[in-house]
Amino acid sequence: MPAEPLSRPRIVAAAIDLIEREGADAVSMRRIAADLGVGVMSLYNHVPNKSALLDGVAETVLSQIEFSDDPDADWTDRVRMQALAFRQIAHHYPRCTMVVVSRQLQSTAGLLPVERALATLRSAGFGGHEAVRILRVFIAYIVGSLLREVGVTPTFAPVHRSDLAVENVDPLLFPQVSGLAPMLVDCDHESEFEFGLGLLIQAIAVQLKR
């Protein structure tokens, strides 16, 4: 009956669509089936369970990262570009970001960025051990930043909506927070991200010179 037959990619695509439209909480097998005009249990012919479906979502999103790696560029720029590429995809699927980040998948989709990053770092002159450590630091920073941007993360990074909690804080108990409230409240995610990225790159550049 359906012009296109049911398939895992179609189901994953429907899930991504649903997440972007209504958030990750709206995802249910029933809901996805309804969106596809299909019985609930039909999904299980293509996907073993909900968890695997979400893995598929993460994998699909992750595989869409586009590296325009220029081997001739300075290694610092290449690292920067790779980090930005990672962030860009999260910006394209904002509500899927939490799903991607909070799910450890073992497909090759997640390995490609790692391979690229390690290659870049090693070509810059870092040893294997250093490269791995540095990669971990960058991933931690990127993941943490994305969580903030997506709006998930403790108070420290209030969303841009009028977050009165920060502004109405007791100036005597929290002089710094109170005084810096305007800066705490609004946040240019892009420039903040690049600021930290610059710090890290600068730090490892120093590290390299020894």
Element (H, E) at 154: none
User: Taking phi first (over 0 means left), then psi (-120 to 50 degrees means alpha), and beta for anything else, what does residue 175 get?
Assistant: alpha
Instruction: Report the Cα–Cα distance between both ends of the chain, in Å, rounded.
Output: 67
Longest Cα pair distance anywhere in the chain, in angstroms? Answer: 68
| Cα atoms in the Cβ-side hemisphere of radius 13 Å centred on 79 | 28
State the minimum distance, in angstroms, from the CB of residue 194 to DNA: 37
Among 45, 102, 123, 202, binds DNA (CB under 7 A): 45
The reply to whether 5 sits near DNA by the rule CB under 7 A is: yes
Nearest-angstrom CA–CA distance, 130 and 117:
12
The reply to whether 154 sits near DNA by the rule CB under 7 A is: no
The reply to whether 154 sits near a second copy by the rule CB under 8 A is: yes
Site stretch for DNA (CB under 7 A), options 48-56, 92-100, 124-132, 136-144: 48-56
Residue 46 DSSP SS3: coil
Name every residue whose Cβ is closer than 8 Å to that of residue 200 and which is 6 or more positions away in sequence.
137, 138, 141
Name which of residues 107 to 136 contact DNA (CB under 7 A). Answer: none
Mark 168-197 with x for binding to a second copy (rule: CB under 8 A) and - for no binding: -x---xxxxx-xx--xx--x----x--xx-
Q: Are 206 and 176 in contact (CB under 8 A)?
A: no
Site stretch for DNA (CB under 7 A), options 37-45, 130-138, 155-163, 193-201: 37-45
If the CB atoms of residues 30 and 136 are measured against a second copy, the closer one turns out to be 136
Nearest-angstrom CA–CA distance, 83 and 133:
16
The reply to whether 58 sits near DNA by the rule CB under 7 A is: no
If the CB atoms of residues 25 and 72 are measured against DNA, the closer one turns out to be 25
Name which of residues 57 to 116 contact a second copy (CB under 8 A). Answer: 58, 62, 98, 100-108, 110-115
Residues that bind DNA (CB under 7 A): 1, 5-6, 27-31, 38-42, 44-46, 49-51
